[in-house]
Amino acid sequence: MRLILILGDQLSHDLSALRAARPDDIIVMAEVASEAGCVPHHPQKIAFLFAAMRKFAAELRAKGHTVAYATLDDPDNSQSIPGELLRRAADHGATLVIATEPGEWRLIAALSDLPIPVTQLPDDRFLASHAEFEAWADGRKELRMEWFYRDMRRKTGLLMEGDQPAGGQWNFDHDNRKPARADLLRARPPRFEPDAVTAQVLDLVEARFPDNFGRLRPFTYATDRAGALQVLDHFIAHSLDEFGPYQDAMLQDDPFLHHSILSPYINAGLLSPLEVCQAAADAHAAGKVRLNSAEGFIRQIIGWREYMRGIYFLEGPDYTARNVLGHDRALPPVYWGAPTRMNCMAQAVGQTRDHAYAHHIQRLMVTGNFALLAGIDPHQVHEWYLAVYIDAYEWVEAPNVIGMSQFADGGVVGSKPYVSSGNYIHKMSDYCGGCAYKVADKTGPRACPFNLLYWDFLVRHRERFERNPRIGRAFATWDRMDADRRDRIRADAAAFLTRLEAGEVV
Ligand code: SF4
C-alpha cells in the first residue's frame, strides 16, 4: 500500500505525484497547525488554502481516488505533515510515500527524515528543473534574470517570431512606467461569494486564528480551478491591455489597478503558469492586447517567477538567514497596522490587511524600501511577507525579500539595492498629497522619512555601494551638498529612527 501526499500549494490535477498514483493508493491531504502557524499567516490566506484543498479533495474523490483528508478540527489530526503521513501509514499499512517535492527546504527535510521511505518527485509544474537552472547559473559571474528570461522565451516559444523576440525586443519596460489616474470605471477582479464549503472554512479560521493580522471578511477570492479560470478570462479581456504601462503605478482606493491577481491561483496550483502565459500571448496575437503589456506580464511569470525559484533552490537552506548589511532593527508595529503618519505605508499595509494582497511595487518600493532604508532585520521582514500575502510561499517570497528587496544576500538577485527617496513614490502614486509629511522637504520636522533615510542608508553603507555602477553616482550628489545640510539630514534621520524604535507614531 502506498500514500500519495498532496500539499496545500499542490492543487494541480497533473501534479507529478498524482500522475504516479495507482487506483489503490491513498491520497493524503491535511490542514495542519504546524503549517498554518509556522508564521502568523493572514486569515484570508489560511481560508483560501483550506477551502481550495477541500474542493480539490472532492474533485479527486469524484475522479475515483481514495482521499484521507484531515480537517484542522479533526480530533485525530496530529497537526503536522509528517505526523499525518505516519498516522495514515499505520491506518492503511502503507510502506511508501510518494510526494511532489515541496517548495520549502523545511518540508523537504521533514519528508526526508520520515521513518518510512518517501519518494520526492520533481515539481514539473515549473518550466525550469533544478538541473536546468543550475546549468544556466554554472560559471556565470552574475545571475541576472533578464538572460534567464530570454532562455525561457526561447524554450516556450512565447512571443517569439522564429528565434527572434516579437517586436524585435525582449523587454519593453521603458514603456511600462506610467503613473495612473483614478478611474471609477476601471475593471476590478471578479469577486466570489463564499459557498457552503468556503463559509465553513471561514468560520473555522475565524475561531482558530482570531489574533492573526488581517481581515478575514469580506472574503472574495475564488477557491477552485473553475473560479480561477474566470479570473484569468476576466483579466485577459478587461485588464491585461493596460497592465503594462501602469504596472508600477499606485493609487489610493484602487488596490488592484490593472493587476491580474492570479498569483494566488498559480502558486497554489489551480492555474498552470504556461496556460496563463499562453492566454496572454494569444490575446496579443489576436490584436486585443498591446505587446508591451503581454510581454511585461509574461516576463513576471516565466522570467521572475521561475528565476526566483531557481535562486531559492540554488542558494540552499540558509538563504533566509542571510544579512550581509548587518541590519538588526526590530520590525516596527506599523507593519502590523499600527497608526502611521506615512500615507504610503498606511495605504500599502492597509490594503494588505484588507486583501492579503499588494502589488509588486507596493511590496518593493514602499514596505520593502522602508524596511531596507530603516535597517530592519531582514529575517523579520521575510517572515512578515511570508505571513501576510496570500500568494507567498518561501520559494518565491524569500528570494524576492531577502534578495531583491532587502539586499541581504549581498547581490545574488539584485545588482543594486532597491532604495529610493520619496520622489519615486511621489512620481508613481497619489499617496503624497494626503500625507502628513512633505515629499518636497528634505530636512526638518515635515521632511518625508524616505528622503532622510535614503541618504542615511547610503552613507552607512558607503563602502559597499560606492563603486556600484548603478548607484555609486548618488555619492557624488551627497558629497556636493554643503556640510551643514548633510549634518541636518543625518541628525533628522537619527531622530526619526529613535522615534521608530521607541514605538512612537512616525
Ligand atoms: Fe510616503 Fe513620503 Fe510621500 Fe508621505 S511624503 S506618502 S512618507 S513618500
Report helix, strand or coil for 37: coil
Report helix, strand or coil for 76: coil
Output the pLDDT for position 176.
Answer: 78
Mean pLDDT of 29-45: 96
Output the pLDDT for position 203.
Answer: 98
Nearest CA to ligand 1 atom 2: 448
**pLDDT higher than threshold 90 for residue 15:** yes
Output the pLDDT for position 503.
Answer: 94
Name the band, by pLDDT with cuts 50, 70 and 90, for residue 228.
very high
Measure Cα distances from 385 to 42, 378, 401 in Å: 10, 11, 8
All 3 cell numbers of residue 54? Answer: 477541500
pLDDT tens per residue, range 51-68 = 999 999 999 999 999 999
pLDDT tens per residue, range 321-331 = 999 999 999 99
| Mean pLDDT of the chain, nearest integer | 96
Mean pLDDT of 362-387: 98
pLDDT tens per residue, range 459-485 = 999 999 999 999 999 999 999 999 999
Query: Interface pTM (ipTM) of the complex?
Result: 1.00
Mean pLDDT of 194-202: 98
Asked if residue 506 has its Cβ within 6 Å of ligand 1, the reply is no
- Burial code of 307-331, b = ≥16 C-beta within 10 A, e = fewer? bbbbbbbbbeeebbebbbbebeeeb
**pLDDT higher than threshold 90 for residue 343:** yes
- Ligand 1, residue 434: give the atom nearest the CA: 6
DSSP characters over 92-157:
HT--EEEEEPPSSHHHHHHHHT-SS-EEEE--TTSSS-HHHHHHHHTT-S---HHHHHHHHHHHH-
User: Which of 419, 427, 432, 451 is the best mutation target for the ligand 1 pocket, counting ligand atoms within 8 Å of the beta carbon and taking the most?
Assistant: 432
> How far is ligand 1, taken at its centre, from the CA of residue 253, in Å?
16
- Ligand 1, residue 366: give the atom nearest the CA: 1
DSSP state of 489: H
Nearest CA to ligand 1 atom 8: 422
Report helix, strand or coil for 66: strand
Asked if residue 432 has its Cβ within 6 Å of ligand 1, the reply is yes
**pLDDT higher than threshold 90 for residue 377:** yes
> How far is ligand 1, taken at its centre, from the CA of residue 338, in Å?
17
**pLDDT higher than threshold 80 for residue 175:** no
d(C-alpha 317, C-alpha 314), whole Å: 9
Asked if residue 344 has its Cβ within 6 Å of ligand 1, the reply is yes
> How far is ligand 1, taken at its centre, from the CA of residue 428, in Å?
11
Measure Cα distances from 84 to 202, 362, 407 in Å: 23, 38, 38
Which residues make beta-bridge pairs with 70?
Answer: 30
Q: Does residue 44 contact residue 219 with C-beta atoms inside 8 Å?
A: yes
Name the band, by pLDDT with cuts 50, 70 and 90, for residue 177.
confident
Output the pLDDT for position 54.
Answer: 98
- 232's enclosing H/E stretch is helix 225-238
> How far is ligand 1, taken at its centre, from the CA of residue 378, in Å?
22
User: Which of 425, 429, 441 is the best mutation target for the ligand 1 pocket, counting ligand atoms within 8 Å of the beta carbon and taking the most?
Assistant: 425
Q: Which of 251-255, 272-276, 467-471 has the highest mean pLDDT?
A: 272-276
- How far from chain centre, in Å, is Cα 150? 22
Cα dihedral: 274, 280, 282, 285 (round 10):
-140
> How far is ligand 1, taken at its centre, from the CA of residue 438, in Å?
7
Output the pLDDT for position 70.
Answer: 98
Measure Cα distances from 208 to 72, 119, 223, 290 in Å: 9, 33, 20, 46
Name the band, by pLDDT with cuts 50, 70 and 90, for residue 180.
confident
Q: Does residue 388 contact residue 394 with C-beta atoms inside 8 Å?
A: no
Asked if residue 422 has its Cβ within 6 Å of ligand 1, the reply is yes
Nearest CA to ligand 1 atom 3: 432
d(C-alpha 358, C-alpha 346), whole Å: 12
User: Which of 365, 423, 448, 455 is the best mutation target for the ligand 1 pocket, counting ligand atoms within 8 Å of the beta carbon and taking the most?
Assistant: 448
Report helix, strand or coil for 311: helix
- Residues of the chain with pLDDT > 70: what percent? 100
Asked if residue 448 has its Cβ within 6 Å of ligand 1, the reply is yes
Output the pLDDT for position 31.
Answer: 98
Beta pairing, strands 26-30 & 66-70 = parallel
d(C-alpha 289, C-alpha 280), whole Å: 8
> How far is ligand 1, taken at its centre, from the CA of residue 453, in Å?
12
Asked if residue 425 has its Cβ within 6 Å of ligand 1, the reply is yes
Beta pairing, strands 160-161 & 66-70 = unpaired
Name the band, by pLDDT with cuts 50, 70 and 90, for residue 423.
very high
Nearest to 47 by CA among 200, 232, 261, 255: 200
Q: For residue 357, give every residue at least 6 positions away whose Cβ sits within 8 Å of its Cβ, in sequence order, or none.
A: 255, 256, 261, 264, 351, 389, 390, 391
> How far is ligand 1, taken at its centre, from the CA of residue 370, in Å?
11
Output the pLDDT for position 306.
Answer: 98
d(C-alpha 498, C-alpha 244), whole Å: 40
Nearest CA to ligand 1 atom 1: 344
Instruction: Show the domains of the chain with their CATH numbers.
Output: 2-121 (3.40.50.620), 130-189+239-315 (1.25.40.80), 333-501 (1.10.579.10)
Mean pLDDT of 436-444: 97
d(C-alpha 424, C-alpha 410), whole Å: 23
User: Which of 437, 455, 505 is the best mutation target for the ligand 1 pocket, counting ligand atoms within 8 Å of the beta carbon and taking the most?
Assistant: 437
Nearest CA to ligand 1 atom 7: 342
4 phi, psi to nearest 5 deg: -115, 120
> How far is ligand 1, taken at its centre, from the CA of residue 299, in Å?
29
Asked if residue 431 has its Cβ within 6 Å of ligand 1, the reply is yes
Name the band, by pLDDT with cuts 50, 70 and 90, for residue 256.
very high
- Ligand 1, residue 431: give the atom nearest the CA: 6
Asked if residue 342 has its Cβ within 6 Å of ligand 1, the reply is yes
Output the pLDDT for position 236.
Answer: 98
d(C-alpha 121, C-alpha 99), whole Å: 6
